[in-house]
Structure 1
Amino acid sequence: MTTDTPDFGWPLPVVGEPPARPDPALLDRFATISAATACAILHKLGIRRTWIEGPEPLTAVPHTVGVARTLLLLPQREDIVSGASQEYVERHSALWRVFDDVAPADFLVVQANAARRSGCLGEILVASFRNQGGTGIVVDGRVRDTPRLKVSQVPIWCTGSTPHYASQDELFPWGYHVPVQVGGVLVLPGDIIVADDDGVVVVPARLADTVATQAAEHEEWEAFSRDRIRAGGRLRDYYPLTETTRREFEASRDGLHREP
């Protein structure tokens, strides 16, 4: 065991610029927007790869929204990091540093390259993340301490569990506040993450306002259609709306939003 700062032979960790924080009111607008709706709206806007494929909920999860805080794990190379005594070396790595200044509503996004032998996060780090106001975590890899993580009150999406710590076998925490590829999707620091039981969707930060606006209307007309179909309406009339039923929808909105 050592507390000395290791000589990695490379300037580690690699640290990008902290992302700009979105207006909290913008995040609030995503509170009722499902991952499926966000994904559909982005598809209409021409953004095709937004669903993080692979990670699944560790346990039942609530609808969760946050700001992407990224962590990059890369393969070990023995002249830089070898795995030996790395559990202590990790405290000088991006894995510890990414937790130093977690802000409320941060959503940790971890690139782990679908590795099966690296437990990227465990109970203690997740507890720290929760205490600082973090909202959720997605890892395209494994976690450890799963019995405790399941009751941690932090929604987690991952590909499974392992008893290994993060750098015990394949990977090493290389950088944070950097672009990452997670489940086939590019995630930039500051992107908006929308997640639920359907999965995790990445909303590009610069499109967030547009997505929130269009998604809110989409959710509204789907609720209208759902009610009409439950009341006996024909599927082909209400899903999607026809010109006639859209006028019916607009009339119902006008009545709902009209001042008393």
Structure 2
Amino acid sequence: MSTPSQDSISPQLASFSSCEISDALVKLGVKSGGHIPDIEMYSPHSVRVPDAEGVKICGPAFTVKMVEASDKTSPTPSDHFVDAAPRGHVVVISAPRHLKSAVWGGLMSAGAKAHGVLGVVLDGRCRDISEHRSLSFPVFARGHSTLGQGTFSRPSELNVPLTIEPRWEGEGFSFAATEVHPGDVVVADLDGVVCVPRRLVGDVVARCGKGREVDERCMEDIRAGRPIKETFAKWRG
């Protein structure tokens, strides 16, 4: 399955934050707002480090589905997924939820950077955090581990649709899963990770532009001391 090049992604989309993009997607009827839940920035900085404010990746998704290493029936790709990832893409990996081992390490970041990959988003764990940071390679993950990949998991399918579920939060809790299809646009920054369906990129850019204009007017009035309720009524309706 082919995916678009980085050059085909609207450069305007990268100018908006993940929050602005999620707001736009919700207004366009995407229940999850495109949010890939429970993912944090681990490299080149931590979300808890001020320098992380300038970190952002925006590019088409190259997806990887992981299975348990004991799974002998699922397909096995002919190429290593890092070698297969196209230049200018964001690697998105989905791993079995219960695994405590990592699915991405320092050698993978080195290979991905050499291949021109923009970054990686892991619905799973990473390790070798200092190595990722020394490479200044963007890594967003659900968690981290000391355990490597090979003993516990293996790649199964490349460039296939992924369904990423939120962590279980207790009985009665419900949050929409996010689907990531090859070529969807992934934006990740200090606030989190969001996936924009390819067909909605133009609509999202338009909605984000309008939303930013409204928020700027709200901010101007609020800083001038006007009540938030009054300001929202005036600009947000």
TM-score (norm 1): 0.74
Does the C-alpha gap of structure 1 residues 194 and 79 become closer, same or farther in structure 2, counting only changes over 3 Å? Answer: closer
Gaps of 5+ in 2: 166-176
Distance between the aligned counterparts of 1:22 and 1:106, measured in 2?
7
Judging by fraction of residues, say which structure has more strand. Answer: 2
Q: Give how far 1:36 is off.
A: 1.1
Does the C-alpha gap of structure 1 residues 113 and 185 become closer, same or farther in structure 2, counting only changes over 3 Å? Answer: farther
TM-score (norm 2): 0.80
Q: SS of 1:105's equivalent? A: coil
Distance between the aligned counterparts of 1:201 and 1:103, measured in 2?
20
CA contact (8 A) 1:110 1:182 kept: no
1:44 match = 27
Q: Among residues 222, 226, 237, which one is paired with 1:229 in the alignment?
A: 222
2:122 aligned with 1:139, yes or no?
Answer: yes
Does the C-alpha gap of structure 1 residues 209 and 238 become closer, same or farther in structure 2, counting only changes over 3 Å? Answer: same
CA contact (8 A) 2:40 2:192 kept: yes
Distance between the aligned counterparts of 1:241 and 1:168, measured in 2?
58
Deviations 1:111-139 (A, max 9, x none): 01334333211111111212222222111
Deviations 1:172-196 (A, max 9, x none): 2101111112343211000011211
2:63 match = 70
Gaps of 5+ in 1: 1-16, 82-92, 247-260
Q: Which stretches of structure 1, 4 residues or longer, exceed 6 Å deviation after superposition?
A: none
Question: Which deviates more, 206-215 or 124-133?
Answer: 124-133
CA contact (8 A) 1:109 1:182 kept: no
Q: How does 1:110-259 map to 2 (within 5 A)?
A: 110-169=93-152, 171-183=153-165, 184-239=177-232, 241-242=234-235
Deviations 1:13-54 (A, max 9, x none): xxxx1223365451x111221111111111111111221112
Distance between the aligned counterparts of 1:103 and 1:211, measured in 2?
25
Q: Give how far 1:150 is off.
A: 2.9
CA contact (8 A) 2:61 2:90 kept: yes
Aligned length: 215
Q: Give how far 1:95 is off.
A: 9.3
Aligned Cα root-mean-square deviation (Å): 2.4
